[in-house]
A and B are shown apart, each in its own frame.
Chain A
Amino acid sequence: MPLEATSTFPLEETADKEFLYTLNFGPQHPATHTTLRLVLTLEGETIVKAVPDIGYLHSGFEKLGEDLDYNQYVTIVDRMNYISPILNEIAWHHAVETLMGIELTPRCKYIRTIIGELARISDHLLCVGAAALDLGGITAFLYAFNMREKVYNIFERMAGQRFHPSFTRVGGLMFDVDDEWVNMIRDFIRNDFPKAHADISKLLNKNRIFLDRTKGVGVLTQEEAINRSASGPVARASGVPRDIRKDEPYLAYKDFDFQVVCAKAGDCCARYFVRMEEMRESVKIISQAVENIPTGPVNVALDDKLTIPDKTATYRSIEGLIQHFELFMWNRRWHPPVEECYAATEGANGELGFYIVSDGEGRAYRARTRPPSFIHFSMFPHLIEGHTISDVPAVLGSLNIIAAELDR
């Protein structure tokens, strides 16, 4: 099959000028980690203009959200930011529960907090490790992935799937957790993780190559960060002390003592340090939570007609059977108010919110995601201009762009 030359996508005019040439970067390029494309206009090695082109992984998540019901869609949200799936599940069901006005049981709140923070740790680990990998430090990547395997083990123990657990349900969780799981977490936060964290810090914190390539690169000032809607670690590294866990405490976050990590510089290095410190704060939260998990049920009471009854209740009691039937027949299911609402949580990458429009049926009429990666990537041209082409991986790595969340 003959191949024809690609037209130089949107930049014909600039590339004609003297000394400028156009470089296509991606969509299949190792430093992008996933699928995004940049059309860079270069003067020598300096980037004059960068035009991102995305959509190479647009798979219609939001359309599926209108087709699947409030529980089913959790399997799809999982696949949105696939390096910390649990945080997406928490965000989605937080929005659904806000819409329906459900108050979770204390035990469920604690467990969700713990798994959410674990997911945040594994997200930051991958981000830090992969950023180091792109800048030439493969060892830190191997240490980070080793720890991620430990987190996977914990998730596998609780949900049976190591990667996409799909663990939350409307008004509760899929299963309750057991003592062995609690011990695994204790082991993780006491022994494995602090050691790996120290190792990674030792490898990178004073590493000349790493620091030289990240310091002063991709600077985002505080005003720009606010004006361009940055959130999460990216905003905090620019000195915007905004953390939804503190601002609008959801789940059990107000019970714990933790700090919001901020930096002033706003460059790639600051983002790296913010992520490293946030992992420590997450460990602090987990260690407070894991010793104080309240007893009691994980799901809200069956009488509320919101949660799926467990197998025993379904097979042994008529209420359970009816309830199961009510939630699974496609013309029954939930009856949320005919309203719309936005609820946000602090995802690993930033503010992860869902805007749900409900028409009173069992599935959302519209399930809009506020994707942090999408918004962070939109400031990429601003961050990269004037830097050299070898800074592209550094900036991309520090923003932690996840294509599935970027494109949905």
Chain B
Amino acid sequence: MAVKFPDFIVSKLDWLANQARAYSLWPMPFATACCGIELMATASSRYDIARFGSEAMRFSPRQCDVMIVAGRVVMKMVPVMQRIWQQMPEPKWCISMGACASSGGVFDTYAVVQGIDRFIPVDVYVPGCPPRPEQLIRAVLDLQEKVRATGTINAREFEGRKEFEGPAPLARQLAPDQTMIVPGDFTTATRLRPENN
């Protein structure tokens, strides 16, 4: 007796979209430093992130779903990172890989940003210096979980997040009139007023 398949199934569009998205999270490897090598190791034969549908590393932000920031991000790089983040189409997620990207790690110096979450929203943090490839795979799985739990077909879930979600600033903050910021402009984005001493 042949199995009879139903002619139609009832499902939520959200659920369908989430299933599709969760298993094809295309990463944008924003690899700056040592963690990037571990990211390469995750993609190559031994760990093979392709098993989880994330092997299609696209170097154009416009084709990606998840930005993996692997490595420290420094003063000169922040505008670049923000611009790449803005170029990615919705819905998009961000994995902060490694101690440096998450918190500055061992580099508490004048140039290194103490955690990218101060400047862009982050979904999953991966500790470690560098994290082992297994940890990165775990992060991708967690992100899949998150997508399945919260995702909506037209990315409604992001609309409510109007507040800054990062940590409170630790360093001295400059008053708004002291800063000269042109987002997305490489040459002037970090320009400061000359010191008055």
Contacts and interface: CB of A to CB of B under 8 A. Distances in A.
Interface of A: 1-4, 6-7, 9, 27-30, 33-35, 55-60, 63-64, 75-76, 79, 82-83, 126, 141-142, 145-146, 148-149, 162-164, 403-404
A334 B30 CA distance: 40
Contact of A6 (B32, B40, B41, B184): B184
A9 B186 CA distance: 9
B48 to A, nearest CB: 10
Contacts of A149: 41, 46
A interface majority secondary structure: loop
A232 to B, nearest CB: 20
B187 A4 contact: no
Given A3-B86, A164-B129, A57 B185 contact: no
B185 A28 contact: no
A145 B45 CA distance: 8
A3 B54 CA distance: 29
Contacts of B77: 27, 35, 56-57
Given A55-B76, A57-B77, A60-B111, A9 B187 contact: yes
A212 B33 CA distance: 31
B33 A57 contact: yes
B45 to A, nearest CB: 5
A10 to B, nearest CB: 9
6 contacts: A3-B86, A7-B187, A58-B76, A75-B106, A146-B46, A164-B130
B37 A82 contact: yes
Contact of A82 (B33, B74, B183): B33
B132 interface: yes
Interface string B172-197: 00000000001111110000000000
Interface of B: 30-34, 36-38, 40-41, 44-46, 59, 71-72, 74-77, 80, 83-84, 86, 106-107, 109-112, 129-130, 132, 182-187
Contacts of A7: 185, 187
Contacts of B76: 55-56, 58
Residue among B34, B41, B76, B83 facing the most chain A CB atoms (10 A cut-off): B34
A8 to B, nearest CB: 10
Contact of A56 (B44, B80, B86): B80
A57 B74 contact: yes
Contacts of B84: 28
A71 B45 CA distance: 35
A28 to B, nearest CB: 6
A4 B184 contact: yes
Nearest to B186: A6
Contacts of A33: 31, 36
B26 to A, nearest CB: 14
Contact of B107 (A64, A141, A163): A64
Given A3-B83, A28-B30, A142-B45, 9 more contacts: A1-B184, A4-B184, A28-B59, A30-B59, A33-B36, A58-B76, A58-B111, A64-B107, A142-B44
B129 A35 contact: no
A58 to B, nearest CB: 5
Contacts of B106: 64, 75-76, 79
A394 B44 CA distance: 21
A75 B107 CA distance: 11
B32 A34 contact: yes
User: Which 7 pairs, one residue from A and one from B, show the smallest C-beta to C-beta distance?
Assistant: A60-B109, A82-B34, A145-B44, A3-B184, A30-B59, A59-B112, A59-B107
Contacts of A58: 74-76, 111
Contacts of B86: 1, 3
Residue among B30, B37, B182 facing the most chain A CB atoms (10 A cut-off): B37
B59 A29 contact: yes
A3 B76 CA distance: 17
Given A27-B80, A82-B37, A403-B33, A60 B187 contact: no
A60 B107 contact: yes
Given A9-B187, A27-B80, A145 B111 contact: no
Contacts of A83: 37
Contacts of B41: 145, 148-149
